[in-house]
Amino acid sequence: MGLLRLLLALSVLFEHAGGVPTRWGAYTIIGGPLAVECFFIISGFYMGLVLNERYDRPALTRAFYTNRAIRIYGLYWAFLALYLAIFAAAQLADGASPLLPYAQAPLGCAEKAGLALLNLTVIGQDLTLWLRIDGHHLAWTTHAFHSGGLEVFHFMLIPMAWSLSLELEFYLIAPFVARRPVWQIAAMMAASLAARVIAAGAGYSADPFSYRFFPFELALFLAGVLAYRAFAAKRAAWDGPPAKALALCVPLAILAYPIWAGGEPANGFFAAPRLALLVLVAAGLPAIHGWSRHLTWDRAIGELSFPVYLDQLLVLGMISTLPLLAGHPAALTLAVAAVSIALACVAVRMLDRRIEALRRGLATRAGSRTVR
């Protein structure tokens, strides 16, 4: 599943960097929003797996939370420190950087400090998508993207971390959900989908409701949990040629998305191409896991996905002004991808593998089982 995860991280990167020009428009693989939702499904699958096979009893819930926190915060804080150092240097050099909102926004010190704290906690960063600056205070809004340049989410130094906040919110409830009977998980998924349908009927379907609102995205996490249950119910069925054919269909469909989607916009959740791909990913995860779970090279590739997701905007900001890349969107996108992957390799070698060793040690001492 590692190759799939890196492909999705590159989809987000391609959209941020502008993509590669083609006759279908800018090629961004499947783009950021759809890639993030595919990540949610994968996360649900993994949480279903670890909570039913490794942390398989309530006594291990605390160990699960500790393990997840180390996984997310270890790399995130390292990259946050890197972002902050580079932004501070830029601010001192020419007075312009993503730190500028903290100096110029008409907010009190307490509210700015609270927003700064969200950069450390990660969880809660999605709340900035529902806030606006009203006078000298924060106020709730459903139109955060139309705040006249005073968007509160600009206070977040790693903008993509709002999706990590949704991940952490799911982790908090996962031990109380992922071990439940299939029919209960399916009922919760149906409730989440029904809430989205009702909201769409009331006019709440655009961004951030389209893919950033946790109650709606919960259905995708739960689809991943159900995909794991399908794998666990009959493991041998996911090792044969038909399963491998299904596994191959997923990355091929992602890479060819602009072709088979026919250029139809996929901004709304209920767009047919978007739904079709999400269903295919959920259906294909058991087959992908059945094929790839013993592949060392696939696991090594997957280790790059999280740091690539975190480092891409920093890399883009640093190399986008190079004269050699100016006016060449394809060259810029590919250069950002290459540098982001290289930086991810450094992060994995210097930090992530130590984090993984720590996590494995803690899990073993807590009495967890080995995931199969």
In terms of residues, how long is the chain? 372
Residue pointed to by tokens 């890349």:
325
Check: CB of residue 266 under 8 Å from CB of residue 15: no
Q: How far apart are CA 253 and CA 280, in angstroms?
A: 9
Question: Distance (Å, rounded) from C-alpha 33 to C-alpha 296?
Answer: 29
pLDDT of residue 364: 78
- Give me the helix-helix angle, 182-201 and 214-233, nearest 10°: 150
Q: Kindly give the residue spans of alpha helices, DSSP state H, lying in the chain.
A: 2-17, 32-53, 61-94, 100-104, 109-121, 161-173, 182-201, 214-233, 241-255, 257-260, 272-292, 296-302, 305-319, 329-347, 353-366
Whole-number pLDDT of residue 91: 85
DSSP letters of 249-271? HHHHHHHTHHHHTTT----STT-
For residue 320, report the phi and psi dihedrals to the nearest 5 degrees. -70, -20
Model pLDDT, residue 159: 92
pLDDT band of 365, cuts 50, 70, 90: confident
Tell whether the model's pLDDT for residue 147 goes beyond 70. no
Q: What is the pLDDT of residue 358?
A: 83
Give 328-362 pLDDT, tens digit per residue.
Answer: 889 999 999 999 999 999 999 988 888 888 878 87
Report the alpha-carbon angle 151-154-159, nearest 5.
130
Under 8 Å between Cβ of 33 and 211: yes
The CA distances from residue 203 to 200, 217, 229, 270, 282, in Å, are 5, 17, 34, 13, 27
pLDDT tens digits, residue range 286-309? 999 999 888 899 999 999 999 999
pLDDT at 150 over 80: no
Residue 28 has pLDDT above 70, yes or no: yes
Q: Over the stretch 260-288, which tens digit does the pLDDT of each residue have?
A: 887 655 567 888 899 999 999 999 999 99
What's the whole-number average pLDDT of the chain? 90
* 25: phi then psi, degrees, rounded to nearest 5: 105, -165
Q: What is the pLDDT of residues 313-327, one digit of tens each?
A: 999 999 988 888 888
Q: Which of 159, 135, 166 is nearest to 145 (CA)?
A: 159
Confidence of residue 52 (pLDDT cuts 50, 70, 90): very high
**pLDDT > 80? residue 192:** yes
Q: How far is CA 83 from CA 78, 88, 143, 227, 311, in A?
A: 9, 8, 28, 36, 9
Contacts for 289 with CB less than 8 Å, ≥ 6 apart: 1, 45, 49, 231, 238
Q: Mean pLDDT, to the nearest integer, of 185-212?
A: 94
Q: What is the DSSP string of 130-165?
A: GEEEETTEEEE-S-GGGSTT--GGGG-SSTTHHHHH
- Greatest CA separation found in the chain? 62
Q: Which amino acid is at 308?
A: V
Statement: residue 371 has pLDDT above 60: no
- Please tell me the distance from the alpha carbon of residue 179 to that of residue 160, in angstroms, as a whole number: 29
What is the structure's pLDDT at 85?
Answer: 94
Residue 149 pLDDT level (bands cut at 50, 70, 90): low
